[in-house]
Structure 1
Amino acid sequence: KILWQKSLHKDHPHEAGHYTASLASNSPVTDGERIVASFGSRGVYCLDLEGKLLWKKDLGEMHSKHGHGEGSSPVLHGDVVVINWDHEEQSFIVALDKRTGQQKWRVARPEDTSWATPIVVEHKGRAQIVVSGTNRIRSYDPATGGVNWECGGLSSNIVASPVSADGIVFAGSSYDTRNLLAIRLDGAKGDITGTDQVLWSRRRGCPYVPSPLLYDGFLYTLQHYQGVIFRIDSKNGEEQGGPFRLAAVTEVYSSPVGAAGRIYVTSRAGITQVLSNDAEGKSLATNRLDDSISASAAIAGSELYLRGEKHLYCIAEK
């Protein structure tokens, strides 16, 4: 049942987009009191849970590489919403007051187009905003925008977001450079490229479009965006079982998710293959929806939400 819906902006696109994308590829974010939705060049909008517009912010026009469109989603931390704006002109990362939309800080980035969404990492009582970009990954102070640390080794055309747990950040790419890095946060400061802050790296099973899944101590990565999944021990970067060829799944843009001891991988064709979370990677189920799906699944309690091109789906036990 639709409780409310609201049209926020009407416009003509200023540039082309990828044939699989839309003008609303970015995912919204909520703190339970307000919803922040970024439509990139069409603006950032904040609404309350009743659909009332609280504020809007125009960040200008984004000019993406190859006209592939926009996709980085906003993230919330404390009183700020952070948006990464990597494109073919002056790139930047910006923090807005989540209550008013006023700019708190804005920092230029020496980047061209990327589509990765930043993540918030809490480590030893301190938060940092970590975002992958062209050739390197950086950590920012959410209060000031200052760079905490940065590390080279990634490629161009960054789509996959990093993941983190237990004081380690994992980031990878496979467009023109294949690399998957494990970065120790303790002691990370300044440029840590090539130092022992990088616990391990590998050039096999590196992500491109889908972000890695870090689940129960293992990284699950899709090869490029094909139906081949790797299971990597997050402690040492070694494969533990696999790689597994997914018989039912081929082209994959959405990131895998894990729940209840299972791994869920959804393809652009609307097929979800369910795997066991172990070294055997058994196929437990194959589920089909009559829709095309590029967005990653969201899990809330015992419910799985999938956003297709035609419908929003909620999957749960009866």
Structure 2
Amino acid sequence: MLRYFAFIAVALLPAISSAQQLNLAAQWPAWRGPQHNGVAPQGDPPTKWSETENIKWKVAIPGEGSSTPIIWGDRIFLLTAIKTDKVATDLPATIDEPVGPFKIKFPKNYFQFTVICLDRATGKTLWQKMATERVPHEGVHPDNDYASSSPVTDGKRLFVNFGSNGVYAFDLDGKELWSKEFGKLTTRNSFGEGSSSALHGNVLVTTWDQDGPSFITAQNAETGELLWRKDREEKTAWATPLIVERAGKTQVITNATNLVRSYDLFTGEILWQCAGQATNVTPSPVANDKLVYCMSGYRGYALYALPFDQKGDLTDTDKIAWKLDRGTPYIPSPLLYDNRLYFTQSNEGILSCVDATNGKILIERTRLQGISTIYGSPIGAAGRVYFTSRRGVTTVIKHADELEILASNQLDEEFDASPAVVGKELYLRGKKWLYCIAE
């Protein structure tokens, strides 16, 4: 009972003061930005650039990672997994037998799961901290890596989710504050991990959707103490939770194959749920004041606009505000910019834009200039929308009801991480390089 009331006291702390809100809008504290929808409300990055134009700096990042960089003040934080020459000697003989349709091999080498802090002005490394060194227990899809989730910060602490290799909290100077282990994820076909943790006030939420017993946890962000844990009937999914204060509750929205669920942040109680998504769910939810938008696009297409003020099971009821069954993404998450919802089909550069209020189609499945495949999520700033392809092309369009191409920019790099924007700077993290793009 004492622990319950202690949790309520912590969880009811205001998430952020009004003064901090002004500061927050100028940061990129989580992988989908300060509003968790891909928008930089105070951002105004360049429209045009190349390897020789509007590059403020470009720095090599050791190891591999598709973790999106986050930015707070004058610092940039990102994750990487650095493969070492050290080989485990106690692995089973079956370690060399590839698994699944992609013939994925399990690793033998130790990896250093590492956090890097860079100076925003120069790209210089301020500190580099290894959270742990281990041999990963599974392989990864050829397009995935061992550092694909993104950190999150409240401006005081940095929270890092390396999944099977631990969840960690650091101060912004790299001092470890706490760590927590939740076991080993068993992902579909050994595709690897990727869901990021979500932060609200003093509560850190992590989903653990796998081809095994799935669950969701809430931790005290200050101490790492487990506040609650709820089992989930789910298969492997990669969507990051969305936490919002709506309809008199602080709701944790999780997107997954079997159900979209809304949890009460304070208790873990399910407030409402809805079936209808496709498989291998990866896109994270986005929301406005009244509706949350959940979508998926592998072996089917689904977009559901769901109200926050409902209870129970919304599946196949008229409580669903609207839905769409075409053109939705597999890996990229959508962008909710003002009242327009932008998303691309599967992993292709085929754009749709709909009115978020009623689902009216504004741009109908139209190929974006120069974009073939895309894993990174679109971002919006200064009346523009940016889409970065895996082959280094960023197409910039006008934030409008009709498609208007403003620019197409090419870099000599491959990009799977989503862009980040702070002020007049755009950050693109590639396979080897991190770019700061500014005029």
Q: TM-score, normalised by structure 1?
A: 0.96
Indicate the residue corresponding to 1:41 in structure 2. Answer: 164
Quote the Cα distance in structure 2 between the aligned partners of 1:233 and 1:189: 25
Equivalent residues of 1:116, 1:161 under 8 A apart: yes
Quote the Cα distance in structure 2 between the aligned partners of 1:142 and 1:111: 19
Quick one: which of 205, 227, 234 aligns to 1:82?
A: 205
Residue 401 of structure 2 corresponds to residue 279 of structure 1: yes
Aligned AA for 2:431? E
Aligned AA for 2:139? A
Report the 3-state secondary structure (helix = DSSP H, G, I; strand = E; otherwise coil) of the residue aligned with 2:189. Answer: helix
Displacement of 1:124 in angstroms is 4.1
Residue 391 of structure 2 corresponds to residue 269 of structure 1: yes
Indicate the residue corresponding to 2:268 in structure 1. Answer: 145
Indicate the residue corresponding to 2:143 in structure 1. Answer: 20
Task: Describe the superposition over 1:163-215 as per-residue Cα deviations: whole angstroms up to 9, x where unpaired.
Answer: 100210111112123221111112x1111112222011111222221111111
Q: How many residues align?
A: 316
Where in structure 2 are the equivalents of 1:42-121 lying within 5 Å? Answer: 42-121=165-244
Percent of paired sites with the same residue: 47
Report the 3-state secondary structure (helix = DSSP H, G, I; strand = E; otherwise coil) of the residue aligned with 2:164. Answer: helix
Quote the Cα distance in structure 2 between the aligned partners of 1:264 and 1:307: 14
Equivalent residues of 1:185, 1:197 under 8 A apart: no
Quote the Cα distance in structure 1 between the aligned partners of 2:319 and 2:433: 44
Residue 365 of structure 2 corresponds to residue 243 of structure 1: yes
Quote the Cα distance in structure 2 between the aligned partners of 1:277 and 1:288: 21
Residue 350 of structure 2 corresponds to residue 232 of structure 1: no
Quote the Cα distance in structure 2 between the aligned partners of 1:126 and 1:33: 25
Quick one: which of 299, 303, 312 aligns to 1:190?
A: 312
Report the 3-state secondary structure (helix = DSSP H, G, I; strand = E; otherwise coil) of the residue aligned with 1:248. Answer: coil
Residue 419 of structure 2 corresponds to residue 297 of structure 1: yes
Quote the Cα distance in structure 1 between the aligned partners of 2:247 and 2:271: 14
Quote the Cα distance in structure 2 between the aligned partners of 1:146 and 1:316: 45
Report the 3-state secondary structure (helix = DSSP H, G, I; strand = E; otherwise coil) of the residue aligned with 1:41. Answer: helix
The runs of 5 or more residues in structure 2 that have no matched partner are 1-123
Quote the Cα distance in structure 2 between the aligned partners of 1:106 and 1:227: 38
Equivalent residues of 1:81, 1:95 under 8 A apart: yes
Quote the Cα distance in structure 2 between the aligned partners of 1:280 and 1:134: 32
Displacement of 1:258 in angstroms is 0.8
Indicate the residue corresponding to 2:321 in structure 1. Answer: 199
Equivalent residues of 1:16, 1:69 under 8 A apart: yes
Deviates more, 1:252-261 or 1:286-295: 286-295
Displacement of 1:302 in angstroms is 2.7
Displacement of 1:125 in angstroms is 4.8
Aligned AA for 1:107? K
Quote the Cα distance in structure 2 between the aligned partners of 1:109 and 1:230: 32
Deviates more, 1:6-15 or 1:60-69: 6-15
Quote the Cα distance in structure 2 between the aligned partners of 1:47 and 1:289: 33
Residue 258 of structure 2 corresponds to residue 135 of structure 1: yes
Quote the Cα distance in structure 2 between the aligned partners of 1:206 and 1:281: 18
* CA RMSD, Structure 1 to Structure 2 (Å): 1.2
Equivalent residues of 2:250, 2:266 under 8 A apart: no
Report the 3-state secondary structure (helix = DSSP H, G, I; strand = E; otherwise coil) of the residue aligned with 1:10. Answer: strand
Aligned AA for 1:247? Q
Quote the Cα distance in structure 2 between the aligned partners of 1:241 and 1:83: 34
Higher RCO by CA contacts (8 Å cutoff, separation 6 or greater): 2
Deviates more, 1:8-17 or 1:275-284: 275-284
Quote the Cα distance in structure 2 between the aligned partners of 1:82 and 1:99: 13
The structure with the greater share of residues assigned to helix is 2
Displacement of 1:98 in angstroms is 0.7
Equivalent residues of 1:26, 1:72 under 8 A apart: yes
Q: TM-score, normalised by structure 2?
A: 0.70
Equivalent residues of 1:242, 1:280 under 8 A apart: no
Aligned AA for 2:272? W
Residue 286 of structure 2 corresponds to residue 169 of structure 1: no
Equivalent residues of 2:263, 2:271 under 8 A apart: yes
Aligned AA for 2:245? E
The runs of 5 or more residues in structure 1 that have no matched partner are none
Quick one: which of 134, 142, 156 aligns to 1:11?
A: 134
Equivalent residues of 2:249, 2:264 under 8 A apart: no
Task: Tell me which stretches of 4 or more aligned residues in structure 1 moved more than 6 Å.
Answer: none
Quote the Cα distance in structure 1 between the aligned partners of 2:353 and 2:367: 12
Quick one: which of 374, 387, 391 aligns to 1:252?
A: 374
Report the 3-state secondary structure (helix = DSSP H, G, I; strand = E; otherwise coil) of the residue aligned with 2:223. Answer: coil
